[in-house]
Amino acid sequence: MNIQPYGVPDRRWSPKLTPWWFQLARYWRRRALKKQLIEKIDVQGLDYLQSARDAKHGILMTPNHSFHWDSYCLVEGAERLKTQFYFMTAWQVFAQSNWFDCESMRRCGCFSVDREGTDIQSLKTAVDIMQNRPQPLVIFPEGDVYHTNDRVTPFRDGAAAMALMAARKAERPVVIIPVAIKRWYTQDPTPSMLNTLEELEKRLYWRPRRNESVRERILHVAKGLLTLKELEYFGHSTEGDPACRLKHLASSVLSRCEDRYSIRDRDAMIPERIKEVRRRIIQAQQDSSSQAAISKPTEALANELKSSATEAQQRQWSADMDDMFFVTQLYSYPGDYMEQNPTWERQAETLDKLEEDALGASYPSVRGPRRVIVRFDEPYELPRGKDKKVSQAEVTDHIEHRVQVMLDELNSRHARD
Residue 308 vs residue 174, higher pLDDT: 174
Phi, psi of 293 (to 5 degrees): -65, -35
Question: Is residue 36 helix, strand or coil?
Answer: coil
- Give pLDDT, residue 366: 96
Phi, psi of 89 (to 5 degrees): -130, 135
pLDDT tens-place string over residues 201-232: 999 999 999 999 999 999 999 999 999 999 99
- Give pLDDT, residue 300: 47
Angle at 381 between CA 399 and CA 412, to 5 degrees: 35
- Give pLDDT, residue 124: 97
* C-alpha count within 13 angstroms, C-beta hemisphere, residue 261: 25
Is 83 in contact with 61 (CB distance < 8 Å)? no
Q: Which pLDDT band, with edges at 50, 70 and 90, does 246 fall under?
A: very high
- Give pLDDT, residue 375: 98
Q: Report the candidate in 392, 414, 376 with the shortest Cα–Cα distance to residue 74.
A: 376
CATH class of 19-186+369-416: alpha beta
Give CA–CA dist 92/115, Å, rounded: 10
pLDDT tens-place string over residues 259-308: 999 999 888 899 999 999 999 999 998 887 765 544 455 444 445 444 56
Is 109 in contact with 139 (CB distance < 8 Å)? no
> What average pLDDT does range 165-183 have in this prediction?
96
Residue 416: pLDDT over 80: no
pLDDT tens-place string over residues 371-384: 999 999 999 999 98
pLDDT tens-place string over residues 3-31: 788 888 889 999 999 999 999 999 999 99
Residue 60: pLDDT over 90: yes
- Give pLDDT, residue 389: 80
Give CA–CA dist 257/255, Å, rounded: 5
Residue 142: pLDDT over 50: yes
Q: Which pLDDT band, with edges at 50, 70 and 90, does 369 fall under?
A: very high
How distant, in Å, are the alpha carbons of 58, 60, 301, 355 from that of 49? 11, 10, 52, 36
Give CA–CA dist 274/160, Å, rounded: 20
Q: Report the candidate in 185, 89, 147, 199 with the shortest Cα–Cα distance to residue 333.
A: 147
Q: What single letter denotes the amino acid at residue 258? A: E
pLDDT tens-place string over residues 83-131: 999 999 999 999 999 999 999 999 999 999 998 888 899 999 999 999 9
How distant, in Å, are the alpha carbons of 114, 126, 390 from that of 120? 9, 10, 23
Q: Which pLDDT band, with edges at 50, 70 and 90, does 173 fall under?
A: very high
Q: Is 68 left (phi over 0), alpha (psi -120 to 50) or beta?
A: beta
Is 47 in contact with 80 (CB distance < 8 Å)? no
Q: Which pLDDT band, with edges at 50, 70 and 90, does 387 fall under?
A: low
- Give pLDDT, residue 116: 83
For strands 110-113 and 58-63, give the pairing: unpaired
* Domain ranges, ordered by start, for the chain: 19-186+369-416, 190-359
> What average pLDDT does range 134-161 have in this prediction?
95
Report the 10 Å Cβ neighbour count for 29. Answer: 18
Phi, psi of 395 (to 5 degrees): -65, -45
Angle, to 10 degrees, between the axis of helix 242-260 and the axis of helix 311-331?
Answer: 150
Q: What single letter denotes the amino acid at residue 203? A: R
> What average pLDDT does range 44-71 have in this prediction?
96
Is 150 in contact with 35 (CB distance < 8 Å)? no
Following DSSP, what letter does each residue of 371-382 receive, concatenated?
Answer: EEEEEEPPPEEP
Is 69 in contact with 34 (CB distance < 8 Å)? no
Residues counted in the chain: 417
E strands, 36-145, are 38-44, 58-63, 86-90, 110-113, 137-138
